[in-house]
Amino acid sequence: MAVLPDDLSAALDDELAKHHLHRLTQAFDRLSARYRQGDAATSPILASEVDVAAYAGYRMPATYAAVHAVLAEAASRAPGFEPRTQVDVGGGTGAAVWAAAEVWPSLEKCAVVEQVAGAIGLGKRLAAGARKPAVRGAEWRRGLVDPAAPAPEADLVTLSYVLGELPEADREDVVRWLAAKAGAVAVVEPGTPAGYERVRAARAQLIGLGLQVVAPCPHDGECPITPGKDWCHFAARLPRSNLHRRMKTATLGFEDEKFAYVVAGRFTPSRPDARIIRHPKKHKGWVALDLCTAEDGLESGVAVSKKQGPRYRAARDVEWGDGWSTT
Ligand SMILES: C[S@@+](CC[C@H](N)C(=O)[O-])C[C@H]1O[C@@H](n2cnc3c(N)ncnc32)[C@H](O)[C@@H]1O
């Protein structure tokens, strides 16, 4: 379960307590409907202070969980990559900075670029009491995602839940701009077919620009999934936020945030030879795995039986999103 760091969770509660619950609920409903719509934004979606608070209360824990899962997987595939600097583009209230600082103790200097002043204000207040110096000392820049501006220059550049808000015609330029001066780029999108297709295009572009995929793909070849037929996505489980509990909308004590992602870097990662792309089906005496493999593309229902001893025990422990060795 991806739990928010205590210092973030406490700061968030203090901020949410400044707003009436019914106003947060109204903003929550409006934002949910807008995000479900899924098309590019012609004006900032976070249009008021209460929108920003509702975003932080109900989306930030989920985007934090997704980005944390993404960066933790990337870190496990790139043990020599120890970023000191991060630029988080379209950073909102700063979820990706908190996640990166949690994954990489090496981080010293973070910057968040964001268009909405209210999101910057709230992000700064949340970060003010952070235990991690990289979060506490983050620089917050009001600015646009703008390929005509100097490219973000950092060991790690993150773009989390932003690509889909940008006009389709701009996305290619934005990805080129993100990668221009980055040691590694992480792009995270909602785990929908449309989110996957944006990630798929970004991935192909990053490879074309000379970066290597760190995760999730076990190879730099063409994605073997046929768009429209399936989509590559993963899930991070998180406890229902305090705001959800106050709103009493939650029936379960947790939610699963679905996301699609790519992390690519200017270094050679240590990739697994396959990635588990669905929940493993655990039967009595055998496990069935759906894999994306480095050598043979997609393989569905790969059976690992009890007779295989240690491989079977490993298969019983793996989860959707984990790497897998085919030999
Ligand atoms: C869904 S939120 C994601 C926020 C944060 N990255 C996260 O993962 O929680 C999208 C953010 O991108 C920002 N954004 C969208 N288009 C932008 C643009 N053209 N320039 C700067 N920020 C932009 C929005 O204002 C918003 O804060």
Going from the Cα of 316 to the center of ligand 1, the distance in angstroms, rounded, reads: 39
Pocket of ligand 1 contains residue 304 by CB under 6 Å:
no
112 and 94 in contact (C-beta within 8 Å)? yes
Going from the Cα of 21 to the center of ligand 1, the distance in angstroms, rounded, reads: 24
Pocket of ligand 1 contains residue 145 by CB under 6 Å:
yes
Q: Which residues pair with 87 in a beta bridge?
A: 111, 157
pLDDT at 250: 59
Alpha-carbon distances of 212 from 124, 134, 292, rounded to whole Å: 33, 27, 17
pLDDT at 38: 81
Report how far residue 214's alpha carbon sits from residue 217's, in angstroms, rounded to the nearest whole number: 7
Pocket of ligand 1 contains residue 257 by CB under 6 Å:
no
**Exposed/middle/buried for 65, CB within 10 Å: 0-12, 13-18, 19+?**
buried
114 and 82 in contact (C-beta within 8 Å)? no
Report how far residue 117's alpha carbon sits from residue 140's, in angstroms, rounded to the nearest whole number: 10
pLDDT at 39: 85
pLDDT at 272: 96
pLDDT at 225: 97
Cα angle: 89, vertex 269, 274; to 5 degrees: 105
SS (H, E, C) 181-203: EEEEEEEEEECCHHHHHHHHHHH
Q: What structural domains and CATH numbers belong to the chain?
A: 6-265 (3.40.50.150), 274-324 (no CATH)
Q: For every one of its 327 residues, what pLDDT tens digit does the chain have, with 9 covering 90 and above?
A: 888 999 999 999 999 999 999 999 999 899 989 988 888 888 898 989 999 999 999 899 999 999 999 999 999 999 999 999 999 999 999 999 999 999 999 999 999 999 999 999 999 999 999 999 999 999 999 999 999 999 999 999 999 999 999 999 999 999 999 999 999 999 999 999 999 999 999 999 999 999 999 999 999 999 999 999 999 999 999 998 777 777 666 567 889 999 999 999 999 999 999 999 999 999 999 999 999 999 999 999 999 999 999 999 999 999 999 999 988
pLDDT at 242: 74
Output phi, psi for 147, to 5 deg: -60, -10
Report how far residue 133's alpha carbon sits from residue 137's, in angstroms, rounded to the nearest whole number: 6
Nearest to 276 by CA among 222, 313, 318: 318
Nearest to 144 by CA among 187, 113, 122: 113
- Residue with CA at minimum distance from ligand 1 atom 14: 90
Q: Which atom of ligand 1 is nearest to the CA of 119?
A: 27
Pocket of ligand 1 contains residue 182 by CB under 6 Å:
no
> Position 128: which residue type?
A
- Residue with CA at minimum distance from ligand 1 atom 4: 92
pLDDT at 238: 93
Q: Which residue has the tokens 């991806």?
A: 2
Pocket of ligand 1 contains residue 160 by CB under 6 Å:
yes
